[in-house]
Structure 1
Amino acid sequence: MLYISLPIGFLAGLIFATASSVNATLADQTTVTFIGRVEGATPFIQQLNFVVNQPANLKTVQFTIQPKPGSVTRPLSATYPTAYLSARGFLDLAGNLKVPVFGLYANFRNSVTLRYTFSDGSFNETTVLITTTRYADPCSYRDPTVVQARTSSTSLSYDYLLLKNECSDNSPTIMDTDGAIRWVGTSGTSNAATAFFDNAIYIGNSAQLLRMELDGAVAVVGDYRNLRVTELHHNIDPGKYGLLLEVDTATDVESIILEVDKDGNLLKAWNMADIVSAAMIAGGDDPSTFVRRGVNWFHNNSCAYRASDDTLIVSSRENFVIAIDYQSGAIKWILGDTSKAWYQFPSLRAFALTVPAGSLAPIGQHAVSITYNDKLLLFDNGNNSRTQVPPGISRTFAYPRKYAIDLVNKTATEIFNYDQSTVSEICSSVYEDAPDNYLIDYSIARGPFAEIVGLQADGQKVFDYKYPTPSCQEIFNAFPLHFDQIRFQVEAPDFAGTLTNISGRDFVGTGNDVVIGGFIITGSTSKEVVVRGLGPSLAQFGLNQVLSDPILSLYSGSQLIAANDDYVPSAQLVDHGLIPGNARESGIVVMLNPGSYTAVLRGKNGTAGFGLLEVYDISGAAAQIINVSIRGRVESANKVLIGGFIVATNPMEVIVRASGPTLANFGITDPLTDPAVAVYNSNGTAVVSNNNWKETQQVELTNAGFAMVDDREAALLAILSPGPYTAIVTDQLAAIDSHGIALLEVYNAGTQ
C-alpha cells in the first residue's frame, strides 16, 4: 500500500485517504511520502511535493478533480508519464517528485484523486482535499445573467471552454460548462490571440509568441521582430503542422499569416496583399485601389487549414472568405457578399462561388473552421465593410453558418444555421466539437453583453450565459476544450520494438459494416504515413467478391483531414514501392502530428466486397505508432477480421484484444457475441491465441490496465520477435450461424 506521511502542523486544508489495487506488487514496495505543497501562480494551480523511495518503479501520475456536487461535467483530469515529469524537472533520480495540479475550483475545498501507476501495472490511489483561495475576477465572469443554467444532460461532447479575452492581464480564461472559472493565464498579458495546442496555452505579446504551461510556467517561444512583425492580433488557429498566427508588420496591416511549430519556429508565411495583387494583375485589373498597404483593407481575423485539398482558408472581414493553395498561395475560390468592392473586379469575380437560393453568403464573418465532415463553418456577423467602397450590405441579425463547398459546380450551399435573434456585429465565433455539438459566442450582442451558448447534437440548448461587456474584450472567441483526459507526452530518444506497417482486411459493406482502422502516434515530432485502401488487386490472391472501388477517409477525432477515391501517383508512393495495384484503389500520403487517427474504408456508391486497409510508417521519425485497431464484420469461412502488423528493430511486448459484446455500449446494434483471436507469424503458425480473456492471463492483463469488460471477449499478452504478424478475429459461435461487428486492437505494451 502507498504510504504518505504528513508533517506535524501541516495545513488543515489538505486531507488524505488511500486505496490500493489488488496484486499491486510494486505498489506494495514503493512509498510516496508527502513533504509539502506550493501555491501556484493563481488559485487554480497547486504543486504537491513528495519523495518516492524507488522512483524507477513509477510509470505515471494522474490527478482527477471531482466536479462540484450536482455537476454533470466530466472531471478535469491529467496524466503525467515519468519521462515528462523528469524532462520538466518534476522528478529526479533521488525520488523528489513534484505534481502540478491545475484546474482547481477557486475558493473551494477540492476533492482530488491522485493515482500512481507502477511499471508492473499495479497502482495506488490517494484522495486529497485542497482548499483554495478566492480569485479576484477582473472580468465579469462571476456575475453572469443565466439565461439557461447547465442542464442535467450528459450528451454534450465537451465540458470546458477556452475564452479568448482582453479583459485582464490574465488572458485567456478556461471555464467549465457550469460557468465556473477553472484556469486563467499566467503571463501577465492581455491579448485575445490565444490557442490551446500541445497541452499548453499560446498567446501573442506584441511581436512575441509566449507558451504558458498549464502548471503556470511561461516561456517566450517565438520573437518575430526580425520579420518586421509588430503585433500578433485577433486569433491563433491550428494549421497544417503547427499554429497559424495573424500578424501586423511595419508595412502591412492584418493581412499576413505565419505558420509556426510548437517551438515557435517559422514554417511558412503568406502575404495576402501580394497574393491578391498577383491574381488581380494576372486577371487584367489594377490592384492599387483595392489592395492598399498601410491601411486595414483586408482585416484578417481567422484562418483554417483544410487537409482534404491542402488549402488555407482565410477570413477577411472587409471582403470575403478566400481559399488559397497551401503550397503556392494561388487563389482557389472566394465566398462573400457580391455587393462589396471585391466583386467589381473581374479578376476576383472569376474565383467567386455561387450561393444557391435559400442560402446566404457570409458578411463580415469571423472564426472560420473546417468541421469533421469537411464543411466550412463560420460566424456570419452580417456587418458590411468599413474601409472598402462599395461597402456591401448589412443585416440586422448574426448567424452561425455551415456550408458545403462544391468546387466542381463552384457553389457554397448553406446546410446549417442557428437563429437566436441576436445581433453581434463584430468578433464572435462558432465551433463544432463532436458532430452537431456546437459552442457559439456572441461577442458583443446588443445590451451590450457577451453571450455563450452550448448546443448538443439534437439541437437542444445545454447552457446560455450572458456577461456585461463594453466591446469584444470579454469573450472575443470561445473554443471547446477536452480537459477530462489530458495526457502529457515527451519524446523518448530510444525505443525498443516498434509497430511500423499495419493493415486490416475484412468484408466491406455499408452502414456500420465498413472497415474502420484506428492508430495512435506518440512523441513530439510529426510522422509521415501512407494510408492505402485496396480492393481490385486482392483478386490475385484468390479472393472472390473484392471491393471494386474503395474510398478512404482519414480523421483526427471527428475532423476529416484527408480523403481519396482513386490514388494520385506521388514520389513517396513510388520511392517506398506503395503504388496500389489498381487505378481505382486509394492512397493517402500525409504528415501527422502526435495524436489519435481513424481511417475508414468504404465502397464507392455503396458497393460491397473484400477490402484491405493499410497504414505504413515511411518517416523513420522518433515519433512512433503505439496502437492500432480495426473494426469490421465477422461471419464465417473467409469473412473474418484480419489485422496485420510488423514488429521492427527489437522484440516487443504486445497486447492483442478482440471486443464484441461491449461494442453495444457504443451504438453497435449487432456486435459479435463471442470473439476469439489468434496471432500468426510469417510462416502461418499460430504463436498465441485466446478465446475468453480470463482463461490464461487475467492477472497480467488486469495489472497492465487491459482487462476486458465482458468475459466472452478475448485478449492476450505476448513478447514477439521482429517480423510480420497477422491477428485474426473469428466467431466462436460460427457453427450456429452467429455473426456481428468486432474490434481488433494491437498495443505496444512497452509504451502504455
Structure 2
Amino acid sequence: MLKRTILATAIATISLGASAAGFPPAPAAGQLGALLVNPYGNSPLTALLDIRSKKPTDIVVTVKGKGKKGVDITYPVGPQTVNTHDGIPVVGLYANYSNEVEVSYKLDGKKITETYKALTGSIINQYVDNRNITTLQEIQVKKVAKGFEDRLYLVNSHTYNQHGSDLHWSGLKAANASLFDGSPAMGSLPFENPPLTYIVDTQGEVRWWLNQTATYDAKSLDVEKRGYLMGFHDTGYGGYTFVQGQRYGTFNLLGQIQSMRLPRGYIDASHEHNIMPNGHTLVRAAKANYVNDQGDTVHTVRDHILEMDQHGNLVEVWNLAEILDPYRDALLEALDMGAVCLNVDIDHLGETAEMQIDAPYGDIAGIGAGRNWAHVNSIEYDPKGDSIIVSMRHQGVAKINRDKEVVWIQAPSEGWNKELSKKLLTPVDSKGNKIKCTEKGVCEDNFDFTYTQHTAWLNNSNGNLTVFDNGDGRGHEQPALGSMKYSRFVEYKIDEENMTIEQVWEYGKDRGFDWFSPITSNVEYMADRDTMFGFGGSIHLYNPGERTIGKINEIGHSDGKVKVEIDILSDKPNTPHYRASLVNLMSQFGR
C-alpha cells in the first residue's frame, strides 16, 4: 500500500509583470521563451512555456515522474491551445519540487527536444481547525493493474468551514405573512463548503491543484465567492464545467475561470452543469419567490432544470413540481436522516421522518414545492427524443422530453399517481420475461432498482444507462442493521418502445457495508479501456469520528475485476467528498 499526504505550507504566487517594475523579463530557457509557473494565479502546479512569437508545431510535453516509480505525464498540445495561451501549457507538476519537464516540437522543420526545470511551492488548505486530522486529504493507493499506471483522476471534494455559513436566504413563510417568522432559511444557499480540487496520479501524488481562493471565500458576502463548487464535466474543448451557488461556468487546468450568474428569478445552482451537443448548458437550480399549490411563496429546493444558450439566455425550464408529483413520499419516509445529500447530521443517524404537508419550508427532506422533495443530482441530455434524463435522489430516475412529458420512470411502483404509474418501466430478464417485484421494489430475479442514486448517465458506447446506486432506503425501508446496506455500480438496458428495463451489469453488492456510500458519488463507462470508472464519495461517513473515504475505482466491464482502487481520506472526520473524474489531457490540450 502506498501512502501520501498532501503538503500544506504556502501557495506559489504568480509573477505580475517583472519588466513593468523595472526588471528585465525572464530569460529564455531554450529556443522558445521563459517557463512561467502558475501563469494565471490560480493553479500553482502548472506552468506556461512562452513561445516569443515563434511557431512551434507537433508539440508533446512530458512532466517527468518523481523518483524511480514516479509517473510520467505525457500529452500533445495542439495549435488552438498554443494560440489561446500564446504558449505551451505544462500540467502535472509536483508541489514543492524542482520538476523536470521535457518538451519536444518542430521549429522551422527541425525537430527539437528540450528539458526545463520548473520549481514549485507547496499548496495549502486555508480552512484548518481543531477537527483536522491531516492538513489536507490523504491518498492511499490500494491497487493499480498493469496498463493503468498512467491514469489521472480529478477529485471534486471539500472541507468543512470553521467560520460557519453567514449568508442565507430568508423570506416569508407564507404569502400572507407580515413578518419573518424564524423558520429555517428557504432555499439552499447555506449549502456550501470550501473546495478541495486536485488531480492525483496512480502513485498517490498530487499533480494539479486549484487554489481555494479562485472560487471561494468564506468571509465574503459576495455571492460570486460562495456556494459548493461541484458538477464537473469535461467540456471536450479544453475545460470543465462547474456550478457554485448563484453561478455556473467553466474552468481549465491552467486556472482560468469563466462564469455567469443564474438568470434572474433562479437560485441555488448545485450538483450538475452539463453541456448539450448544440453548446447550450443544462444546470440544476431552484426558483425564487415561487407560489406553490398551497398558496405559499417559497424558494424551491433542487427541482428546476434550466437550459441556457452560450450568452446566458434562458431557453427552456423544466419545473419538476409541475411535471412530476412533489407529494410522493414512498422513499422519503424511508431515508436515513443522518445524511441527506451533503447535509450531514450524525446525531440523527438511523432515524427516519414522517413527511408532513405543514412542515417548515427550506432545505429539508419533505414533500411539496419549497422543500427537498426531488433532489436532482444529475442531468443527462438524450438526443433520442430531444429529452433530458434526471436523477432525483428522493424519487428515482426519469426521462422527460421538451414538451414536459414524462417518457419513462425507473423506480419502484409505490406511491406514484395514476398518470405517472403508466410511465414506470417494467423489469425484465435477458430473454424479455417480466420479473416479479413488490411495490417497494423487492424483485425475485437478478434485478434491483436504484435508491437515492446519483449520476444517471448514458453509456456512449451502447446507449445503456449507468447509475451509481447509493442504496439508502433500499426496498423503501431501513434494514434491521445499518451494516446490511450496500451500494452498486449498475448498468441498465432500456427499451422505450416496450417500456421495459433490463439490468445487464452490476458491481459492489458483494463488497457490502465497507463499500457503502450513502450520499454523493458517480459512475460512468470508459470505452478506452473497457472499464466502469466510479467514485464512492462517502464511504464510512456513518462511522463517528472517522475520516470519510472517497474510493476511486476502475472495474473491468468484461471481467468484473478491480483495475484501480485509490482511497481519498477526508481531512476532517465525517466529511463527504462529491465526485471524481478521469482526466483526458488530449481533450484538454490536444486541439
What TM-score do you get using the length of structure 2 for normalisation?
0.65
Counterpart amino acid of residue 305 in structure 2: I
1:358 aligns with 2:446: yes
Alpha-carbon distance change, 85 to 148 in structure 1, aligned in 2, over 3 angstroms: closer
1:193 aligns with 2:231: yes
Return the alpha-carbon distance in structure 2 between the equivalents of residues 223 and 124 of structure 1: 45
Counterpart amino acid of residue 581 in structure 2: F
1:216 aligns with 2:278: no
Counterpart amino acid of residue 154 in structure 1: G
**Alignment match, 1:465:** 567
Equivalence map 1:22-41=2 (5 Å): 31-34=31-34, 40-41=41-42
Counterpart amino acid of residue 165 in structure 1: S
Return the alpha-carbon distance in structure 2 between the equivalents of residues 145 and 103 of structure 1: 17
Shift of 1:412: 1.5
Q: Is the Cα–Cα contact under 8 Å of residues 141 and 203 in structure 2 kept in the other structure? A: no
Alpha-carbon distance change, 358 to 74 in structure 1, aligned in 2, over 3 angstroms: farther
Cα shift readout 1:425-468 (whole Å, capped 9, x = no counterpart): 11122122126412222221224522323224343322231413
Return the alpha-carbon distance in structure 2 between the equivalents of residues 171 and 143 of structure 1: 9
Return the alpha-carbon distance in structure 2 between the equivalents of residues 135 and 67 of structure 1: 19
Return the alpha-carbon distance in structure 1 between the equivalents of residues 81 and 552 of structure 2: 36
Cα shift readout 1:543-589 (whole Å, capped 9, x = no counterpart): xxxxxxxxxxxxxxxxxxxxxxxxxxxxxxxxxxxxxxxxxxxxxxx
Counterpart amino acid of residue 194 in structure 1: F
1:183 aligns with 2:208: yes
**Alignment match, 1:102:** 91
Q: Is the Cα–Cα contact under 8 Å of residues 364 and 381 in structure 1 kept in the other structure? A: yes
Alpha-carbon distance change, 257 to 319 in structure 1, aligned in 2, over 3 angstroms: same
Counterpart among 81, 102, 112 of residue 101 in structure 2: 112
Return the alpha-carbon distance in structure 2 between the equivalents of residues 225 and 166 of structure 1: 26
Shift of 1:364: 0.9
Counterpart amino acid of residue 333 in structure 1: W
Return the alpha-carbon distance in structure 1 between the equivalents of residues 238 and 35 of structure 2: 28
Identity of aligned residues (%): 21
**How many corresponding residue pairs?**
434
Counterpart amino acid of residue 407 in structure 1: E
Cα shift readout 1:317-349 (whole Å, capped 9, x = no counterpart): 111111112x3221111111334x3x3x12111
Counterpart amino acid of residue 188 in structure 1: T
Counterpart among 380, 387, 399 of residue 311 in structure 1: 387
CA-atom RMSD, angstroms? 3.6
Q: Is the Cα–Cα contact under 8 Å of residues 155 and 198 in structure 2 kept in the other structure? A: yes
SS at match of 1:127: strand
Q: Is the Cα–Cα contact under 8 Å of residues 32 and 50 in structure 1 kept in the other structure? A: yes
Counterpart amino acid of residue 200 in structure 2: M
**Alignment match, 1:271:** 319
Alpha-carbon distance change, 451 to 417 in structure 1, aligned in 2, over 3 angstroms: same
Q: Is the Cα–Cα contact under 8 Å of residues 106 and 132 in structure 1 kept in the other structure? A: yes
Shift of 1:99: 3.7
Counterpart amino acid of residue 127 in structure 1: T
**Alignment match, 2:517:** 424
Cα shift readout 1:687-736 (whole Å, capped 9, x = no counterpart): xxxxxxxxxxxxxxxxxxxxxxxxxxxxxxxxxxxxxxxxxxxxxxxxxx
Counterpart among 404, 416, 421 of residue 329 in structure 1: 404
Alpha-carbon distance change, 354 to 459 in structure 1, aligned in 2, over 3 angstroms: same
Equivalence map 1:641-660=2 (5 Å): none
Alpha-carbon distance change, 468 to 230 in structure 1, aligned in 2, over 3 angstroms: same
1:65 aligns with 2:63: yes
Alpha-carbon distance change, 258 to 162 in structure 1, aligned in 2, over 3 angstroms: farther
Shift of 1:309: 4.4
Return the alpha-carbon distance in structure 1 between the equivalents of residues 381 and 240 of structure 2: 20
Alpha-carbon distance change, 70 to 237 in structure 1, aligned in 2, over 3 angstroms: farther
Shift of 1:305: 2.1
Counterpart amino acid of residue 252 in structure 2: E
Counterpart among 299, 302, 313 of residue 375 in structure 2: 299
SS at match of 2:112: strand
1:442 aligns with 2:467: no
Shift of 1:146: 2.9
Q: Is the Cα–Cα contact under 8 Å of residues 136 and 570 in structure 2 kept in the other structure? A: no
Q: Is the Cα–Cα contact under 8 Å of residues 38 and 46 in structure 2 kept in the other structure? A: no
Cα shift readout 1:291-321 (whole Å, capped 9, x = no counterpart): 7211111111112123344331111111111
Alpha-carbon distance change, 397 to 482 in structure 1, aligned in 2, over 3 angstroms: same
Counterpart amino acid of residue 102 in structure 2: T
What TM-score do you get using the length of structure 1 for normalisation?
0.52
Return the alpha-carbon distance in structure 1 between the equivalents of residues 97 and 400 of structure 2: 49
**Alignment match, 2:551:** 452
Return the alpha-carbon distance in structure 2 between the equivalents of residues 426 and 332 of structure 1: 27
**Alignment match, 1:404:** 493
Return the alpha-carbon distance in structure 1 between the equivalents of residues 82 and 464 of structure 2: 39
Shift of 1:248: 2.0
Counterpart amino acid of residue 365 in structure 1: Q
Return the alpha-carbon distance in structure 2 between the equivalents of residues 80 and 116 of structure 1: 11
Return the alpha-carbon distance in structure 2 between the equivalents of residues 69 and 14 of structure 1: 29
Shift of 1:43: 2.7
Q: Is the Cα–Cα contact under 8 Å of residues 48 and 100 in structure 1 kept in the other structure? A: yes
SS at match of 1:409: coil
**Alignment match, 1:24:** none
1:146 aligns with 2:145: no
Cα shift readout 1:52-108 (whole Å, capped 9, x = no counterpart): 4xx3x5446543323334558562425141x5544x4x44xxxxxx44423312123
Shift of 1:476: 0.8
Alpha-carbon distance change, 277 to 137 in structure 1, aligned in 2, over 3 angstroms: closer
Q: Is the Cα–Cα contact under 8 Å of residues 327 and 373 in structure 2 kept in the other structure? A: no
Cα shift readout 1:6-25 (whole Å, capped 9, x = no counterpart): x9xx9xx9996x7xxxxxxx
Alpha-carbon distance change, 77 to 450 in structure 1, aligned in 2, over 3 angstroms: same
Shift of 1:114: 2.0
1:347 aligns with 2:419: yes
Return the alpha-carbon distance in structure 2 between the equivalents of residues 368 and 149 of structure 1: 27
- Indicate the structure (1 or 2) with the bigger Cα radius of gyration: 1
Q: In terms of mean alpha carbon deviation, does 60-69 or 178-187 score higher? A: 60-69
Q: Is the Cα–Cα contact under 8 Å of residues 279 and 348 in structure 1 kept in the other structure? A: no
Return the alpha-carbon distance in structure 2 between the equivalents of residues 472 and 266 of structure 1: 38
Counterpart amino acid of residue 241 in structure 1: N
Q: Is the Cα–Cα contact under 8 Å of residues 77 and 485 in structure 1 kept in the other structure? A: no
Alpha-carbon distance change, 338 to 358 in structure 1, aligned in 2, over 3 angstroms: same
Equivalence map 1:534-683=2 (5 Å): none
Return the alpha-carbon distance in structure 2 between the equivalents of residues 272 and 142 of structure 1: 38
Shift of 1:254: 0.6
Q: In terms of mean alpha carbon deviation, does 403-412 or 445-454 score higher? A: 445-454
Alpha-carbon distance change, 265 to 165 in structure 1, aligned in 2, over 3 angstroms: farther
Q: Is the Cα–Cα contact under 8 Å of residues 375 and 394 in structure 2 kept in the other structure? A: yes
Alpha-carbon distance change, 367 to 214 in structure 1, aligned in 2, over 3 angstroms: same
SS at match of 1:233: coil
Return the alpha-carbon distance in structure 1 between the equivalents of residues 243 and 197 of structure 2: 11
Return the alpha-carbon distance in structure 2 between the equivalents of residues 378 and 401 of structure 1: 5
Alpha-carbon distance change, 297 to 207 in structure 1, aligned in 2, over 3 angstroms: same
Q: Is the Cα–Cα contact under 8 Å of residues 140 and 566 in structure 2 kept in the other structure? A: yes
Return the alpha-carbon distance in structure 1 between the equivalents of residues 315 and 196 of structure 2: 26
Return the alpha-carbon distance in structure 1 between the equivalents of residues 571 and 66 of structure 2: 28
Return the alpha-carbon distance in structure 1 between the equivalents of residues 549 and 309 of structure 2: 32
1:487 aligns with 2:589: yes
Q: Is the Cα–Cα contact under 8 Å of residues 156 and 230 in structure 2 kept in the other structure? A: yes
Counterpart amino acid of residue 373 in structure 1: N
Return the alpha-carbon distance in structure 1 between the equivalents of residues 455 and 573 of structure 2: 17
**Alignment match, 2:276:** 239
Q: Which runs of 5+ in 2 are unaligned?
A: 1-18, 128-133, 160-192, 217-227, 291-299, 329-355, 358-365, 428-434, 436-444
